[in-house]
Each structure stands twice: as C-alpha cells, then as structure tokens.
Amino acid sequence: MPAEVPKKVLLTGASTGIGLAIAQRLCAAGCDVWGTSRDIARLPQLPHFHPVAMDLLQSDSIRRVFAAAREQSGGFDALINNAGAAVFGPTDTVPLEMVREQFQLLVEAPMELIRLALPDMLRNKTGTIINVTSLAGVFPVPYMAAYSAAKAALSSYTRCLRLELPLCVVEIQPGDINTGFHNATQRVNAPHTDGVWQVQIETMAAAPGPECVADAVWRALHDPNPPPVLVVGNFAQAHLGPLAARLLPSRLMEWVLRRHYRL
C-alpha cells in the first residue's frame, strides 16, 4: 500500500499511445516521470518529464540506463512497466527469434526493471509497481500466441509479487485501446490470417483512447488499497469480459472467440 502519492516514476514506453497518455497525466499533476523510448527524439517535451533512451531488448541497456536514471532521480517511488509490441502470424511460420523477443520485451524486461527498482522500495518500505498486461492474456488472440502467452506470464508474475512483497503491486489489463499498437505490430504474412487481422483493425478503430488507461494508472497510484487487477476498455471488455472469464465454460468461451474473430 503506498504511504504517499508517488512523486518519482519510471515509465517504460512513454513515446506513444498508452505510455504517452500516462506521462501527460502524471506530469500535469506534478509527478516527475522518467519515461523511456528506444529513440529519445520520440519522447514528449513536458514539464516534469525526463527523457530516457532504453532498449528493452538489451539487458545491458536496461541496467546501464536504469542506474543513470536512478542516480538522477535519487530512486523511484513507482515503476510502470508499460512498453510493448506484438508479433502476428501463424505459429508454424513465426521465427523462434521473434517469439524470444516477445518474451524478452513483455516478460523479462519488466522482471529485470522490477528487480532493479526493488532495493530502494524495500529499503524505504514503500513503492508501487504497475504492470500493463492485456486482456489477450485471458482471452487469447489467434495468430498472436506468443504475445498472449507472454502477457499471461506477466499477469501471473504480478499476482505472485502481490503475495511476496510488502508493496503496492497492480496489474492493469487493457482490452482494445485505440493507439498505434496495431500499426507497430510485426506481421508474418499468411493469407489465411487476413480475416483476423481485419477484425483487429476494426475493433481497434472503434476502441476507446489511451486516456482511460491513464485514469486506471492514476487510480492505482492514488487509491490506498487498489484492486489487484484493473481491467480497462469498452463496456463489454471491461465489465462483461471478467465476468465471462469466470463464469463461462471453456468450450463456450472458445465458441465466442471464434465468432468474434470470424474463424
């Protein structure tokens, strides 16, 4: 549970989409945000924002850059693991190297940052860790098996941390959010996947903007006892989704997913 509102925040993936909305929200409220991107020129220029160049696929970049940012900040009160990207393609044709990179970006990098941030938080007996997962970890997306599995892994890791740590640990689980995420997805082409790809374009276009995820982050940082998981998205995904995941038999759930993706 946070003793006080975090003032110094390390946020990954702050250049666009959800991360940018979180950075804007926190900086406007006077928090100091150290926000990362692979390319520092893509980061916003905001009061209280400190640009950080970090490639989450490179372990040495994570360690070296974290150390420099920590020295500049004097230590972080909150860590938000938000950065992410997806690979789309049939399991038999997506190269194993791309699968490994999914797990490096979405699971290993957040774990490494948590381990780096923990000593200060444990010493101060306060701190907030927020992991941005995905509804895809609960309702898997066809042709995004590695992405769905990596998000499920981060979700499980987050639940474990809640049991281990005397800190505030929250999972933010977005459904479809209208950002450039789909455009940034690396696609391994196969004609029989076109239909699912098209469904994703349509659902993303109709989805709410990233500000609703920034609202959830705000709640996780300010609520003295936030829920373990905050599901964010349109009404169906944020409210009916978690209910369906708990109540529907697996075969029926699969049928619903097949219908949704027109499989």
Ligand X SMILES: NC(=O)c1ccc[n+]([C@@H]2O[C@H](COP(=O)([O-])OP(=O)(O)OC[C@H]3O[C@@H](n4cnc5c(N)ncnc54)[C@H](OP(=O)(O)O)[C@@H]3O)[C@@H](O)[C@H]2O)c1
Q: Which residues are catalytic?
A: 147
Q: Does 137 help bind ligand X (rule: CB under 6 A)?
A: no
Among 46, 57, 244, 253, binds ligand X (CB under 6 A): 57
Provide the sign of the torsion angle of the four alpha carbons 42, 47, 53, 59, taken in this order. negative
Q: Of residues 2, 6, 17, 110, which one binds ligand X by CB under 6 A? A: 17
Q: Which residues of 92-119 are buried (b: 16+ CB within 10 A; e: fewer)?
A: eebeeeebebbbbbbbbbbebbbebbbe
107 lies in the site for ligand X, by CB under 6 A: no
Stretch that binds ligand X, among 160-168, 169-177, 223-231, 236-244 (CB under 6 A): 169-177
Residue 113 to residue 108: CA distance in whole angstroms: 9
Closest CA to 182 of 211, 237, 141, 151: 141
126 is a site residue for ligand X (CB under 6 A): no
Q: Which of residues 210-249 bind ligand X (CB under 6 A)?
A: 210
Of residues 105 and 126, the one with the C-beta less far from ligand X:
105
Between CA 44 and CA 47 the distance in angstroms is 10
Print the binding letters for residues 60-89 with ligand X: x by CB under 6 A, - otherwise. Answer: ----------------------xxxx----
Is 260 an interacting residue with respect to ligand X (CB under 6 A)?
no
Which residues make up the interface to ligand X (CB under 6 A)?
Answer: 13-19, 37-39, 42, 54-57, 82-85, 105, 132, 134, 174, 176-177, 179-181, 184, 210
